[in-house]
Amino acid sequence: MERCPVCGSALGVVRDKPYHYTESGLNVILIGITQYTCDDCKETFASIPNPEQLHTTIALDICKNKKALLLANEIRFLRKELGLKSKELAMAMGVKPEQVSRWENGKASISESNDRMLRMIYRASVEQPCSDISAKDRVISFLTSLPSKRKQINDSHVIELNPQEWMRPQTASC
């Protein structure tokens, strides 16, 4: 029998009760997981199998299914799941670190374009890598390589291609 880590008393098993997963910092309800409760100190504990995959599933749900702009806690969650510091995310997105801080603290709302960018960065980070370099590292490296200040000029960008460049089968660029 399991013992309570707080008071050492025996734990009772609770099944089929929804669990509010506050550990994520989001409003997540888990169904069908085993929970334990201590009758003496009233503490409750949940058995969370594979928390890394759980967090990936939560993040993908936010990216795919949330119809409104991301909220502060969702932005923070996605950044942490990417394993990035605020400054690193700011560099990848072409904004100042203070802007990421304002989004995460709820002092400013994320714009539509930055919301899309953050979702895209996360989605790309969980795609299967095509080499030993992860998709996240490829995306972050690409985005941080762009100059932070770009101007719009009337000189059109000229793209020169030879047939071998578009006739070969298309693969993910690594």
Say what the pLDDT of residue 157 is: 52
pLDDT at 33 over 70: yes
| Number of domain units in the chain | 2
In terms of domains, do 61 and 134 share one?
yes
Q: Which one has a higher pLDDT value, 137 or 115?
A: 115
Say what the pLDDT of residue 173 is: 44
Q: Which run of H or E residues covers position 19?
A: strand 19-20
Say what the pLDDT of residue 131 is: 57
| Displacement of CA 164 from its chain's centroid (Å) | 38
Structure confidence by residue, pLDDT tens digits, 97-135: 999 999 999 999 999 999 999 998 998 888 755 556 676
- Domain contains 124: yes
Say what the pLDDT of residue 105 is: 97
Phi, psi of 87 (to 5 degrees): -65, -40
In terms of domains, do 41 and 62 share one?
no
Residue 100: which domain range? 51-145
Helix boundaries (H) for the chain: 51-65, 72-82, 86-93, 97-105, 112-125, 135-145, 163-167
In terms of domains, do 38 and 120 share one?
no
Do 24 and 58 contact (CB within 8 A), yes or no? yes
- CATH number for the domain including 116? 1.10.260
- Domain contains 69: yes
In terms of domains, do 60 and 137 share one?
yes
Structure confidence by residue, pLDDT tens digits, 38-91: 989 989 888 888 888 899 999 988 988 888 999 999 999 999 999 999 999 999
Say what the pLDDT of residue 147 is: 63
